A and B are shown apart, each in its own frame.
Chain A
Amino acid sequence: MLEGTDVKNSSTSLWSLRAGERCRIESFDDKLAERYRIRMMELGFHPGETVSCVQSPALGAPKVYRVSNTMFSLDDEVAAHIVVSLLPHE
């Protein structure tokens, strides 16, 4: 979903990350309701924050992301609407 839409070239969605990749959160797209945006920020998914994808299980199951010391599992309902830019491997 939502890959390569109207965002900048290097940007992609959090959902498109594969296990082992890191990114920086740029913004949220308009399709994510305001209250979910706020909640994601409360959980640590702030613009500017570094997030890595720890697991991307097969068959479209929710992926596991790490923000600082917490792991969250997100579904594409949310992750597809978080705009990120990929970071080089550590």
Chain B
Amino acid sequence: MSKIVLIGSPNSGKSLLFNRLTGLHQKVANFPGITVDVSSGSLQSLPEITLVDFPGTYSLQPISGDEQVAVKFFTQALDDPNVTQVLCLIDVTRLEKSLYFTLQVIRESARHGKHVTVLANMMDVLEKHHIQVDLAGLSAQIKAPVLPVSARTGSGIDALLARLKANQLQPRSKAAAALTDTPDELLRGTALQLARRFGPKGDILIKSQARLDDFFLHTTLGGLAFFGIMYLLFQSIFTWAAPAMDAVEALLGALSNIVVPAIPNQMARDFTADAIFSGIGAFLVFVPQIFVLTFIIGILEDSGYMARAALICHKPLRLFGLTGKSFIPMLSGVACAIPGIYAARSIDSPKKRLLTYMAIPLMPCSARLPVYTLLIAAFIPQTTALGGLVGMQGLAMFLIYFFGMACGLLVTGLVSRFREDHFTDLPFVLEMPPYRMPAWQPLLRNAWNRSKHFVTKAGKIIFGVTVIIWVLGYFPNGGADLNASWLGHLGHVVEPIFAPLGLDWRYGVAVLTSFLAREVFVGTLGTMFGIEGAEENMVPLVAQIQASGLSVGSGLALLVFFAIALMCVSTLAILSREAQSTKLAVNLFAAYGVLAYGLAILVYNLAGLVGV
């Protein structure tokens, strides 16, 4: 099996070309450093050849841990006898940016006897501006073929394929041997001269782009536009995702009504109804949200606005050790942590990405909302202050949301100060891509792929947890009485943990089941109090909780606990995948668990002191 390696600097159009050559649809986005994975696919017209897509790097001289990985993969690939050719993709409109890198790639490939073909991408842009470049002259100077292509229009692709085919017949390349001993400094000088000589002469950046920036980066107008766009982002979650979430619920409900009565065996019937439909359903309702958020974030990236948003948020976030690129992932965490974690891929500094991963689970996600609603309704009086201007319940909701976000920033601010780790850090250097019309189809496909990734990767774990919880709750008495089940017993076992918060075993059980998704807390507590359908109508449950004589302090402690604790199996599963570190997920789970519990005890006792 022959392999061809595709390499190029960020934003040179690598993803688009890869998709065009393989027909596989990989993410295409307009934000530097988006490709973290090494993906591969067989060439559509030459299926015996595999194309391997490498993470975009600006240079073979790595300055961060991430780049080091990318470069290591590249040198390994050059040692691989199956790799016969290297494709080096450059953005022809920005030759000066890519030539040094190209020369490095040519040198390394020549050392390993691999064919290199340099692809001058974005030729369509040059043609549109009637600008000529002397690719033949350049090719003669760098001693490697340079082919004009456009990943967008597809021009030049046939010539490229013909070339690849011809190269395959000639296993070892003898070209470019001249470069093999050239040191980096000389290479850099050569690159500069070549760029001055062959770079496109002419103004490719269009005036309208500058005018868009005048608007979007304007102090007041740009600020307003920023808030407007973020508002739309949130609004769209409610207008697009919410109905889809309701639809998923309704569909599962209808399906359950058909399937469940048809099952003859009582236990199998209960399992299907409670574990499959309700349990897995609680997880599946988040899929529309993940889809919509990923799609919208994709639009922001592909249109070029993401880089502007990062610029606007950079200064304030820097105070907390983060970068402007952390903003969108964290904001998305306010709806759901999962798309936020996916979006954090585009943060090029490994240190800042790690800090962003730490902050995201503390953002007040939508699964916490039902829990907050229940607890606030039960424990915060419906009174108003300041002559009716401020409702206490509304104020409490605002405060607990703010508390989560503030904790997130506090944690990153502290950790960033205690972790001096320069090699993994990168300063803020962000290429500002031109504003473009987003390419809808790849964005939809990407949102679909992420949703699928979520369902398959988190789904297995969720299913396992669901089955465990169901078994514990069902036996030994066949689900007749949750209180007398193993889960009920477990609640009694963990009761001492919750006693310092003034909570009894029933809350312990509800907290245990909320690992599935935080909102499950409400339903379980309902069941414990003998109320069906507490998710839909909380009023009877609120009355029961109030009648059970629990103190306000316990309620506040639970609120604080839920704001901090990372009890979301899906988040943990996706986090350990995306960060490639189970350790990170486990450590965060433990650390936030301890912090949540400690703060909850503190709040409970403070409340006791002031006598509420």
**B213, A78: Cβ atoms closer than 8 Å:** no
**A62, B58: Cβ atoms closer than 8 Å:** no
**B430, A72: Cβ atoms closer than 8 Å:** yes
Q: Give the residues in chain A near B199, CB-CB below 8 Å.
A: 68
Taking the nearest CB of chain B, how far is it from the CB of A52, in angstroms? 11
A47 to chain B: closest residue by CB:
B192
For the complex, give the distance between the alpha carbons of A90 and B525 in Å.
72
**B58, A58: Cβ atoms closer than 8 Å:** no
**A70, B97: Cβ atoms closer than 8 Å:** yes
- Determine if B100 is an interface residue (Cβ-Cβ < 8 Å): yes
Known: A42-B59, A68-B199. A59 touches B315 (CB 8 A): yes
Taking the nearest CB of chain B, how far is it from the CB of A26, in angstroms? 16
Checking A43, A67, A69, A77 against B428 with a beta-carbon cut-off of 8 angstroms, the contacting residue is A77
- Determine if A54 is an interface residue (Cβ-Cβ < 8 Å): yes
- Determine if B210 is an interface residue (Cβ-Cβ < 8 Å): yes
Q: Give the residues in chain A near B205, CB-CB below 8 Å.
A: 66, 69, 71
Q: Give the residues in chain A near B93, CB-CB below 8 Å.
A: 69
**B429, A64: Cβ atoms closer than 8 Å:** no
The listed residue with most A CB atoms (<10 A of its CB), out of B93, B192, B310, is B192
**B429, A42: Cβ atoms closer than 8 Å:** no
**A55, B97: Cβ atoms closer than 8 Å:** no
**A75, B314: Cβ atoms closer than 8 Å:** yes
Contact with A along B48-60 (1 / 0, CB 8 A): 0000000000110
Enumerate A35-49 residues with CB–CB distance to B below 8 Å.
35-36, 38-44, 46
Known: A57-B217, A62-B428, A73-B307. A68 touches B94 (CB 8 A): yes
For the complex, give the distance between the alpha carbons of A69 and B213 in Å.
15
For the complex, give the distance between the alpha carbons of A17 and B321 in Å.
26
Enumerate A8-64 residues with CB–CB distance to B below 8 Å.
33, 35-36, 38-44, 46, 54-55, 57-62, 64
Checking A62, A66, A77 against B430 with a beta-carbon cut-off of 8 angstroms, the contacting residue is A62
- Determine if B200 is an interface residue (Cβ-Cβ < 8 Å): yes
For the complex, give the distance between the alpha carbons of A42 and B191 in Å.
9
B314 to chain A: closest residue by CB:
A62
Taking the nearest CB of chain B, how far is it from the CB of A33, in angstroms? 8
Checking A40, A64, A74, A75 against B217 with a beta-carbon cut-off of 8 angstroms, the contacting residue is A64
Checking B63, B222, B432 against A71 with a beta-carbon cut-off of 8 angstroms, the contacting residue is B432
For the complex, give the distance between the alpha carbons of A29 and B96 in Å.
23
For the complex, give the distance between the alpha carbons of A80 and B20 in Å.
42
- Determine if B101 is an interface residue (Cβ-Cβ < 8 Å): yes
Taking the nearest CB of chain A, how far is it from the CB of B325, in angstroms? 11
For the complex, give the distance between the alpha carbons of A38 and B428 in Å.
15
Checking B101, B222, B431 against A72 with a beta-carbon cut-off of 8 angstroms, the contacting residue is B431
Taking the nearest CB of chain A, how far is it from the CB of B68, in angstroms? 11
Q: Give the residues in chain B near A73, CB-CB below 8 Å.
A: 307, 310-311, 428-432
A33 to chain B: closest residue by CB:
B422
**B311, A39: Cβ atoms closer than 8 Å:** no
Q: Give the residues in chain B near A39, CB-CB below 8 Å.
A: 58-59, 63, 429
- Determine if B364 is an interface residue (Cβ-Cβ < 8 Å): no
Taking the nearest CB of chain A, how far is it from the CB of B29, in angstroms? 17
The listed residue with most A CB atoms (<10 A of its CB), out of B61, B101, B315, is B315
Taking the nearest CB of chain A, how far is it from the CB of B221, in angstroms? 11
**A57, B311: Cβ atoms closer than 8 Å:** yes
- Determine if B208 is an interface residue (Cβ-Cβ < 8 Å): no
Checking B210, B315, B318, B429 against A43 with a beta-carbon cut-off of 8 angstroms, the contacting residue is B429
Q: Give the residues in chain B near A41, CB-CB below 8 Å.
A: 100, 188
- Determine if B204 is an interface residue (Cβ-Cβ < 8 Å): yes
- The interface size of chain B toward A, counting residues with CB under 8 Å, comes to 39
Q: Give the residues in chain A near B59, CB-CB below 8 Å.
A: 38-39, 42
Known: A36-B427, A68-B94, A72-B430. A60 touches B213 (CB 8 A): no
**A55, B429: Cβ atoms closer than 8 Å:** no
Q: Give the residues in chain A near B210, CB-CB below 8 Å.
A: 54
Contact with A along B294-328 (1 / 0, CB 8 A): 00000000000001001110110010000010000
Taking the nearest CB of chain A, how far is it from the CB of B264, in angstroms? 66
Q: Give the residues in chain A near B203, CB-CB below 8 Å.
A: 69
**A55, B213: Cβ atoms closer than 8 Å:** yes
For the complex, give the distance between the alpha carbons of A39 and B58 in Å.
8
A77 to chain B: closest residue by CB:
B427
Contact with A along B76-105 (1 / 0, CB 8 A): 000000000000000001101100110000
Taking the nearest CB of chain A, how far is it from the CB of B191, in angstroms? 9
Taking the nearest CB of chain B, how far is it from the CB of A36, in angstroms? 6
For the complex, give the distance between the alpha carbons of A65 and B383 in Å.
54
**B100, A42: Cβ atoms closer than 8 Å:** yes
**B58, A75: Cβ atoms closer than 8 Å:** no
For the complex, give the distance between the alpha carbons of A59 and B199 in Å.
36
Contact with A along B412-431 (1 / 0, CB 8 A): 00000000001000011111
Q: Give the residues in chain B near A54, CB-CB below 8 Å.
A: 210, 213
For the complex, give the distance between the alpha carbons of A72 and B429 in Å.
7
Enumerate B203-227 residues with CB–CB distance to A below 8 Å.
203-205, 210, 213-214, 217-219, 222
For the complex, give the distance between the alpha carbons of A19 and B21 in Å.
42
**B432, A64: Cβ atoms closer than 8 Å:** yes
**B94, A38: Cβ atoms closer than 8 Å:** no
Taking the nearest CB of chain A, how far is it from the CB of B205, in angstroms? 6
**A75, B428: Cβ atoms closer than 8 Å:** yes
Q: Give the residues in chain A near B307, CB-CB below 8 Å.
A: 73
A39 to chain B: closest residue by CB:
B63
Complex A-B, nearest 3 residue pairs according to Cβ-Cβ distance, in ascending order: A75-B428, A71-B432, A58-B219
Give A contacts to B, CB under 8 Å.
33, 35-36, 38-44, 46, 54-55, 57-62, 64, 66-75, 77-78
Chosen A-B contacts, 23 in total, with CB atoms closer than 8 Å, are: A35-B61, A38-B61, A42-B58, A42-B61, A42-B101, A43-B58, A43-B429, A44-B97, A57-B217, A57-B219, A57-B222, A60-B315, A61-B217, A61-B311, A61-B315, A62-B324, A67-B96, A70-B94, A70-B96, A72-B430, A73-B430, A74-B428, A77-B427
Supply 17 further A-B pairs (C-beta < 8 A) apart from A68-B199, A72-B430, A72-B431.
Answer: A35-B61, A38-B59, A42-B97, A43-B97, A44-B97, A55-B217, A57-B217, A57-B311, A68-B96, A69-B205, A70-B96, A71-B432, A73-B429, A73-B430, A75-B429, A78-B427, A78-B429
